[in-house]
Structure 1
Amino acid sequence: MGLTRKILLGMSAGAAIGIGINLLGESQLVGAGVNNVINLYLTEGLFDVIGRIFIASLKLMVVPLVLVSLISGACSLSEGSRIGPLAGKTILLYMVTTAIAITLALCLALIFQPGVGVNETVAGAVSGFEPKESPPLSEVLVNIFPTNPVAAMAEGNMLQIIVFALLMGYAISRCGEPGQRVAALFSDLNTVVLRMVGVLMVFAPYGVFALLAKTFAQLGFEVLLQLAKYFSVVLGALLVHALVVYSVLLKLLSGLNPIELLKKMRSTMMFAFSTASSGATIPVTLATVEKRLGVDNKIAAFTVPLGATINMDGTAIMQGVATVFIAQFFGIEIGLTGFLTVILTATLASIGTAGVPGVGLIMLGMVLQQVGLPLEGIAIVIGVDRLLDMVRTAVNITGDAVVSSVVAKSEGALDEETYYDANYNSVSINDNNTIGAH
């Protein structure tokens, strides 16, 4: 059985058991004592421990993988002049897809009007919600550049790590023979780190099972039913963006068959759905983009970590629908100018707030402030945000793969034989514990 099927089986089993635990807790079939035991030793015990260990193991790999892979890729750009155009194309594409995502979300929200007729009791203690304050833009821009690369790696500050890795890779490529020796070292380190990722992927189905079992065990269906219209609009927008918008962009900008990309990204999307973290999924996304889509390391090593940091199409969709939902809920008209402001603010904020904790809600707070909507409205949508967060993470990493493929094709760094190779229809672990074909 390939890794894709194992992960799918783990997801299905985890969701089924989690839903069963949730229904059991809401029913009167067992006493409060039994429910407390299940919650203490299973949901918050076994499932929580396994899931957190698995996420921690993945995060362990993120910094060394991004640093080593990006330095190795930047070294191969021996003519440093390519770094500028590569970065420009990548950032522009990420911003364009984000703008399209939020425009799509606003259109669907205006058509289906998810906030009309929603009872105020859905919000619960709306007045008690205190959104985090967003940092000033000047501070965010300054913080992109590291003062201490070791501290940046210790804190997992991806933008600072990317800046440091690009600078070091550029310097190595211009150092002649000493640079070649260092470049060979990083190339070997990259191979070793990818093998470590392969070792961890053996345990992916079990980690996925535990994560989903805990999530669905704690997910209350009452809130989901109350916010069903909002939930459905966000979910529909996410699916349209992932399956239609990305496919059209990939075909128009590169001529590649989008069906091949979606098939080869299935297991990675399921993985992202389970972890709900683009950062934790970086090792898997990077391996898939390189090994199965044929994107050269020097491109993938830059576009994937950057995308996991600033590409927030899924979050932008949530913001678009949530903005309309909150405006309708409070009966506030924001007009065409307001909607254009939402598109511009969310697109720029996707880069400006990268790396800030709780970035999704901070971005939503910034958007609401710009159009004069009450920040307390965020509390209304929080109830179903966890499940939607899982879906939008899968959308985000799909966007990373699409942009990586488009940029690689434009740079002549895409192996189309690998991209169209039917043997790469599933991820598996080879004998040497590296991720490869099955």
Structure 2
Amino acid sequence: MNPSPTLFQRFLNGSLVVQIVIGIIAGILVASIWPSSANSVSFLGDLFVGALKAVAPILVFVLVGSSIANQTKGAHTSLKPIIKLYLLGSLLAASTAVVISYWFPTTLILVATDIQATPPEGILEVLNTLLFKIVDNPINALVTGNFIGILAWAVGLGLALQHANESTKNVLHDVSNGVTKIVHLVIRFAPLGIFGLVATTFAQTGFSALLGYSHLLAVLLGCMIFIALVVNPAIVYMKTKSNPYPLVLQCLRESGVTAFFTRSSAANIPVNMELCEKLNLHKDTYSVSIPLGATINMAGAAITITVLTLAAVNTLGIEYDIATAILLSVVAAISACGASGVAGGSLLLIPLACSLFGLPNEVAMQVVAIGFIIGVVQDSAETALNSSTDVIFTAAACYAQEKANGPLAATEFDETLSADTIQAINTPS
């Protein structure tokens, strides 16, 4: 007779998504009923995000290095199609933001600000920053979470170790599996971490300070929702020729929700890695594409840069033509790819876009200040879109390659992958 499972065992074996939803509801209730006690659980959120950020750099370094070192010669990893999807997604996001901002123009109340950060002066400065990130010291890259540098060193080490002894490759593979198990353990505590994050956010900030910017937030969130539920599915359909929504909704549910509350693409890399494993994607592909996506796949950042820039333009009554709008889309998409290489992320790239319209830097930095005010919602939604799209495009490329090589069998997938997703992959529309 088997002993009944303990409470901890039932926690580990339960549905993670259901547990996260319970954590969100519990966090809102604590912040609403006992706001003074919310600070006492804030350490749960800080501990969870800190653990994710701590394990993400070493996970990326070891997993990418191991995957490349143990890669079979001639294996197809679908990286080129994924990179194309990343770039296409960011460009379409910026273009969508231009159109929606034209249909629903937004104006701002500009006030003085004390922001001390220095934005980049041009795209060349953004690219220059990224270039020096690539040649960063590997130890410093791991310590500071410089994922461009981590990727560069991991790829270089993996290529060098392709000619190593099999015993060396096996050691690297075992280390990779060990780190992956640690990640699984950290992710199982996501419900407690998100409970602490939600309780703290609602208790300290709430939404009262955001009411004055409700129209701006509506435009931003409307653009991101449209990309998530219309544009991304269209791209997936174009790639796989099958119903994209089972995959899209699963990624939003299991990656987007966590990213929304952690507000960090880097912290969500372990979550995305686990989701890719659950979707039974090729490990040699997602071990590189997911950390790469966390760096260059920035549809949400492209939307933020475009919408806030055009809001400033509308506020000052500046007229612009189609050519300028197209140029803004390209600049926003390129700048968004370099957002992670600039201190302050996407918000500090707004002055760069504003310079296209001749806006003074003082005005642009006031727009940045507004971005920080609404950041509790804007940055959360932006990260959720960016991070979930990494998995969506990786899965789309992998599924397209699998369909080209033959039908996918349901037995190849983890049981947690829905039957609808498997049927959608195999059934042309």
Q: TM-score, normalised by structure 1?
A: 0.83
Given the alignment of the two structures, is residue 277 of structure 1 paired with residue 290 of structure 2, yes or no? no
**Which structure 2 residues correspond to residues 4-19 of structure 1 after superposition, within 5 A?**
4-19=17-32
* Structure 2 counterpart of 1:60: 54
Q: CA deviation at 1:96?
A: 1.0
1:385 — aligned with what? Answer: 375
1:236-247 matches, cutoff 5 A: 236-247=222-233
Q: Which residue of 1 aligns with 2:398?
A: 408
Correspondence for 1:3 among 16, 26, 42: 16
Provide the C-alpha distance between the structure 1 equivalents of 2:230 and 2:412, rounded to a whole number of angstroms: 20
Q: Tell whether the 8 Å contact from 1:312 to 1:396 is kept in structure 2 after alignment.
A: yes
Number of matched pairs: 395
Letter in 2 for 1:271: T
Give the alignment of 1:22-421 within 5 angstroms.
38=36, 42-43=37-38, 45-79=39-73, 86-115=78-107, 120=109, 123=110, 125-134=111-120, 136-137=125-126, 139-175=128-164, 178=165, 180-265=166-251, 266-291=253-278, 293-373=279-359, 374-375=363-364, 376-412=366-402, 416-417=408-409
Q: Report deviation, 1:181.
A: 2.0
Q: Distance in 2 between matches of 1:194 and 1:202?
A: 13
Deviation of 1:245 after TM superposition, in Å, equals 1.0
Deviations, residues 125-151 of structure 1 (Å, cap 9, x unaligned) = 434444532272453243132352122
CA distance in 2, matches of 1:165, 1:288: 22
SS across alignment from 1:159: helix
For residue 354 of structure 1, give the secondary structure of its aligned residue in structure 2.
helix
CA drift of 1:19 comes to 4.4
Q: Aligned equivalents of 1:312 and 1:280: distance in 2?
A: 15
Deviations 1:38-85 (A, max 9, x none): 2xxx34x423322111111111110121111111221243438968xx
Structure 1 residue ranges without an equivalent (≥5)? 23-37, 427-438
Distance in 2 between the 1:126 and 1:168 partners? Answer: 49
Assess, with a 3 A threshold, how the Cα gap between structure 1 residues 327 and 341 changes in structure 2: closer, same or farther. same
Deviation at 1:411, TM superposition (A): 4.7
Change (3 A) 1:356 1:142: same
Assess if the C-alpha contact under 8 Å between 2:55 and 2:183 holds in 1. Answer: yes
Output the amino acid matched with 1:273: F
Code of the aligned partner of 1:6: Q
Aligned partners of 1:356, 1:422: CA distance in 2, in Å? 38
Gaps of 5+ in 2: 1-13, 419-429
**Higher mean C-alpha deviation, range 380-389 or range 155-164:** 380-389
TM-score (norm 2): 0.84
| Residues 142 and 263 of structure 1, relative CA distance in 2, 3 Å threshold | closer
Distance 2:248 2:75 in 1: 32
The CA deviation at 1:277 is 0.9
Q: State the distance in 2 between where 1:337 and 1:297 align.
A: 42
Please give the per-residue CA displacement for 1:194-229, whole angstroms capped at 9, x wherever unaligned: 211121123211110110111122225333221111
In 2, Cα distance between the equivalents of 1:14 and 1:294? Answer: 32
Larger mean Cα displacement after TM superposition, 226-235 or 406-415: 406-415
- Percentage identity across aligned positions? 26
- RMSD over aligned CA atoms reads 2.6
1:423 paired to 2:415:
yes
Q: Residues 72 and 347 of structure 1: is their aligned pair in 2 closer, same or farther, counting only changes over 3 Å?
A: same
Q: Distance in 2 between matches of 1:243 and 1:220?
A: 27
Whole-Å separation in 2 of the counterparts to 1:362 and 1:165: 29
CA distance in structure 1 between the partners assigned to 2:229 and 2:130 by the alignment: 33
Name the SS of the counterpart of 1:143 in structure 2: helix
Structure-2 separation of matches of 1:416 and 1:159 = 34
Q: Matched residue of 2:341: which SS?
A: coil
SS at match of 2:134: coil
On the 8 A contact 2:120/2:348 being kept in 1, the answer is yes
| Aligned residue identity for 2:59 | L
- Using the TM superposition, give the Cα deviation of residue 255 of structure 1 relative to its aligned residue in structure 2, in angstroms: 2.8
CA distance in 2, matches of 1:147, 1:209: 36
Alignment-derived partner of residue 4 in structure 2: none
- Alpha-carbon distance in 1 for matches of 2:299, 2:412: 26
The 2-side partners of 1:425 and 1:284 are apart by 16
